[in-house]
C-alpha cells in the first residue's frame, strides 16, 4: 500500500510548493527570527500570521483548491472553537463564499466574536463537544456546503507545510524542526516539507502530557485516541487523535523523528520565557515547541533548531495569571 518514500515525498513537496504560490497573496511570509535567548534557535513566529495563527495557510489552500475543483460551491462549513474558525471565516470571505462555523456554546466568547467579525455565520446553540461532528454532517447536507476539515485533509496539510517550507527557504542551514501536534496538520506538513528537502533534517512533534495521543500512536504504531478531550491550557491541541492522513505520514511512513510531551507547568514557563525573552506574545499552544527545547526533552539535537511558534491568540486572564505568579 505504501509506495516508494522518495516518490511520496516528491509529490507532496510539489503540492506544498503549489500551495505556497496559491496562498501567497493572502497570508504573510513570517520572518525567521534570531533571538538572544539562544543562538542555536531560529523562530518561525506564526503569532504574527494573519488571524494570529498558522491556520490561515491551510484554510486558504483548501478553499482556493475547492473553488478550482468546484467553481459553483455554495459555501463552506467547519467545526472549531479556535484558530481554524477564524481562518476559515477569513478565507471564505476573501473568496466571496458564505461560511458557517459550528462552535460549542461554552467556548470563549472573544473567539466567537472574532469569527463573526470576519463575516461567518456562527452556530453555537445546541453544539457540544460530543455532537458537533454529527451536527456538522447534518448542517452541511442541509445547506449543501462543503466541509473544511481542520487537519485531516491533504489541502490543509500542504497549506500548513508552507510554514516549514518558508523557514527552510530563509534558513537552509536549519537541521532540526520542532512543531506542536494536535490533529497533526502542521507537523505533517512540516515533516513532508523538511524530509523531501533533506532526509537528514530531524523533525519533532510536541504535545502536552495531558494530550499525548500522537506520542502513543507513534510508539504503539496504532492510531490512539484520548477518551475525553484533555483539559490542557494548550487549547489548540485538545484534539483527541491525529488524522488518518497524519498517521500515514508520521507513523506508517515513519517520517517523524519523535513525539515528546511537556507538562502544564513547563508550558506555562515557556509562555513566560517567550514573552520576556523572545518578546513574542504566544498562546500556550504556540509555546509548546519552545517548552520541549528548553526542557531538554528533545535530547541532543543538530543545530540550528527551528521552532514553529504556532499562534498568539492567548487568553488575557491566563497570561495575567502566569505573569503575576512569576512576579
- Under 8 Å between Cβ of 280 and 31: no
159 in Cβ contact with 166 (< 8 Å):
no
Contact 44/32 with Cβ under 8 angstroms?
A: yes
* Residue 37 binding a copy of itself, by CB under 8 A: no
Cβ-in-10-Å burial (0-12, 13-18, 19+) of 145 comes to buried
213: cell is 495521543
Question: Binding of a copy of itself at residue 265 (CB under 8 A)?
Answer: no
User: x/- contact string, 282-301, with a copy of itself (CB under 8 A)?
Assistant: x-------------------
H-helix segments, 102-252? 109-117, 132-143, 154-170, 185-197, 213-220, 244-247
205 and 310 Cβ atoms separated by less than 8 Å:
no
Nearest residue to 42 via CA among 205, 176, 180, 159:
176
Taking CB under 8 A as the criterion, the residue among 9, 16, 50, 78 binding a copy of itself is 50
Q: Which is nearer to a copy of itself, 168 or 250 (CB)?
A: 168
Q: How far is the CB of 29 from a copy of itself (least distance, A)?
A: 10
163 is an interface residue for a copy of itself by CB under 8 A: no
When asked if residue 236 is in the footprint of a copy of itself (CB under 8 A), the reply is no
Tell me which of 36, 68, 125, 173 binds a copy of itself, using CB under 8 A.
36
4 binds a copy of itself, rule: CB under 8 A: no
Is 14 a binding residue for a copy of itself by CB under 8 A? The answer is no
- Residue 42 pairs in a beta bridge with 306
Q: Does 135 bind a copy of itself (CB under 8 A)?
A: no
* Under rule CB under 8 A, residue 82 binds a copy of itself: no
User: Which residue's CB is nearer to a copy of itself, number 49 or number 246?
Assistant: 49
Q: Which stretch binds a copy of itself (CB under 8 A): 64-72, 131-139, 198-206, 276-284?
A: 276-284
Nearer to a copy of itself, 30 or 165 (CB): 30
Q: Does 307 bind a copy of itself (CB under 8 A)?
A: no
Contacts of 148 (CB under 8 A, 6+ apart): 59, 62, 63, 66, 76, 77, 78, 84, 88, 156
Stretch that binds a copy of itself, among 31-39, 60-68, 245-253, 300-308 (CB under 8 A): 31-39
Residue 278 contacts by C-beta under 8 Å, 6 or more apart in sequence?
A: 33, 35, 37, 43, 45, 290, 309
Contacts of 119 (CB under 8 A, 6+ apart): 89, 92, 93, 99
Q: Does 324 bind a copy of itself (CB under 8 A)?
A: yes
Minimum distance from CB of 311 to a copy of itself (Å)? Answer: 9
Q: Which residues here bind a copy of itself, judged by CB under 8 A?
A: 28, 31, 33-36, 45, 47-48, 50-52, 275-276, 278-282, 312, 314, 316-317, 319-320, 323-324, 326-327
Amino acid at each position: 500500500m505504501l509506495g516508494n518514500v522518495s516518490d511520496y515525498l516528491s509529490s507532496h513537496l510539489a503540492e506544498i510548493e503549489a500551495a505556497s504560490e496559491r496562498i501567497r497573496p493572502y497570508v504573510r511570509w513570517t520572518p525567521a527570527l534570531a533571538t538572544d535567548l539562544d543562538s542555536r534557535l531560529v523562530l518561525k513566529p506564526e503569532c504574527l500570521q494573519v488571524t494570529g495563527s498558522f491556520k490561515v495557510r491551510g484554510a486558504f489552500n483548501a478553499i482556493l483548491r475547492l473553488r478550482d475543483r468546484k467553481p459553483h460551491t455554495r459555501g463552506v462549513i467547519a467545526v472549531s472553537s479556535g484558530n481554524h474558525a477564524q481562518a476559515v471565516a477569513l478565507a471564505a470571505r476573501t473568496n466571496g463564499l458564505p461560511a458557517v462555523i459550528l462552535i460549542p456554546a461554552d467556548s470563549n466568547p472573544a473567539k466567537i466574536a472574532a469569527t463573526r467579525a470576519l463575516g461567518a455565520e456562527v452556530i453555537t446553540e445546541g453544539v457540544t463537544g460530543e455532537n458537533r461532528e454529527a451536527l456538522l454532517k447534518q448542517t452541511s447536507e442541509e445547506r449543501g456546503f462543503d466541509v473544511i476539515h481542520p487537519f485531516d485533509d491533504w489541502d490543509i496539510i500542504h497549506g500548513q507545510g508552507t510554514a516549514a517550507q518558508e523557514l527552510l527557504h530563509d534558513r537552509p542551514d536549519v537541521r532540526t524542526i520542532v512543531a506542536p501536534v494536535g490533529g497533526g496538520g502542521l507537523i505533517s506538513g512540516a515533516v513532508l516539507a523538511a524530509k523531501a528537502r533533506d532526509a537528514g533534517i530531524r523533525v519533532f512533534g510536541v504535545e502536552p502530557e495531558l494530550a499525548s495521543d500522537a506520542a502513543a500512536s507513534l510508539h504503539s504504531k496504532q492510531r490512539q485516541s484520548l477518551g475525553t478531550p484533555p483539559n490542557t491550557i494548550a487549547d489548540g491541541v485538545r484534539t483527541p487523535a491525529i488524522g488518518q492522513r497524519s498517521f500515514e505520514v508520521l507513523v506508517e511512513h515513519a517520517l517523524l523523528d519523535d513525539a515528546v510531551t511537556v507538562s502544564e507547568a513547563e508550558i506555562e514557563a515557556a509562555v513566560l520565557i517567550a514573552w520576556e525573552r523572545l518578546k513574542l506574545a504566544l498562546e500556550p499552544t504556540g509555546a509548546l515547541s519552545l517548552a520541549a527545547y528548553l526542557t531538554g526533552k528533545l535530547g541532543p539535537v543538530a543545530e540550528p533548531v527551528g521552532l514553529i511558534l504556532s499562534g498568539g491568540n492567548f487568553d488575557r486572564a491566563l497570561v495575567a495569571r502566569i505573569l503575576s505568579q512569576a512576579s
